[in-house]
Structures are given as C-alpha cells and as structure tokens.
C-alpha cells in the first residue's frame, strides 16, 4: 500500500527497532513508547483497521494472537501482566491506518483509558 507508514516499515523503507519477524507478521517498538515495553504487532499485508479484519487470513490473525504471550514470556512481563490495545477509527484514536495491536507492559496500567 503506497503511502502507508507501516507498509514502509515492512518493506524496510522506514527503519524500526524490530522485536520479532516472521513471513506474515512484524513486531516493532513504538517510536513514542507509553510504557517500558511498548511494541506494535502488525500483519505484513495491508489491512486498514479492525473493521477489515475479515480480509486477513485467519491463520495470520491466529499467529498475531499466539505471538503475544510468547513476546510476554520473552520479555519477562507474563506474570505481572500487560495490556493489548487496538485503536479503531477516529473515535478509537487510530492515527496509522494499517491495523496494529499495541502491547504495553512493565508498569501498572490505569483504567478507564482516556
Ligand atoms: P495508533 O494511534 O494508530 O493506535 O498508533 C500508532 C502508533 O504508531 C503510535 O503509538 C505512534 O507512536 C506509532 N508510530 C508513529 N510513527 C511511527 C514510526 O515512524 N515508527 C514507529 N516505530 N512507530 C510509529
Ligand atoms: Zn499498510
């Protein structure tokens, strides 16, 4: 997808600090971390938001979710816990229109979110 920031990170046109990569997904550190551990988990294929999740191969959706507890374990945040966030659309606060899941850990989170 032309002019998509995260597609450019996938292609390597824009650098990012990668945490994990497979054929279908990429995990990289958020440029403005909101917690000691803050990564973004994305499918490599361009899907604009949660509203289009049906367009994503279910095996890739599965891979995204199965990767999360592995990342937690590898980064020592399984036991204390962490937060997974998807911002969808304008009201959801989505700023990059390539579906992504924020994974935040390493501090106690507040609720409700703003
Ligand atoms: P959203 O607000 O769409 O849920 O999340 C987009 C996230 O992408 C934000 O947390 C923002 O800090 C992050 N971000 C924006 N530009 C870049 C970038 O160039 N590199 C990285 N690694 N993260 C970015
Ligand atoms: Zn994209």
pLDDT tens digits, 46-92: 999 999 999 999 999 999 999 999 999 999 999 999 999 999 999 99
Task: Establish whether residue 1 lines the binding site of ligand 1, counting it when its CB lies within 6 angstroms of any ligand atom.
Answer: no
d(CA 67, CA 89): 24
Preceding amide of 112 cis, omega within 30:
yes
Ligand 1 pocket member 45 (CB < 6 A): no
Identify the CATH number of the domain in which residue 22 sits. 3.30.428.10
- Residue range of the domain that includes 12: 5-105
Q: Among 7, 31, 39, 98, which residue has the most ligand 1 atoms within 8 Å of its CB, making it the best to mutate?
A: 31
Which residues partner with 39 through β-bridges? Answer: 29, 103
111 domain-assigned? no
Q: What is the largest CA-CA distance in the chain?
A: 40
Write out pLDDT tens, residues 23-33.
999 999 999 99
Whether residue 113 lies inside any domain: the answer is: no
- Closest ligand 1 atom to residue 93 Cα is 2
With a CB cutoff of 8 Å and minimum separation 6, the contacts of 95 are 87
């Amino acid at each position: 997808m032309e002019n998509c920031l995260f597609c450019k990170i996938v292609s390597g046109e824009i650098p990012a600090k990668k945490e994990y990569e497979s054929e279908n997904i990429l995990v990289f550190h958020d440029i403005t971390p909101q917690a000691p551990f803050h990564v973004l988990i994305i499918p490599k294929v361009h899907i604009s938001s949660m509203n289009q999740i049906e367009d994503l191969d279910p095996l890739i959706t599965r891979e995204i979710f199965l990767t999360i507890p592995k990342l937690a374990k590898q980064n020592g945040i399984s036991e204390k816990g962490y937060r997974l966030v998807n911002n969808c659309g304008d009201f959801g606060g989505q700023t990059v229109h390539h579906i992504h899941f924020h994974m935040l850990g390493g501090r106690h989170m507040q609720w409700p979110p703003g």
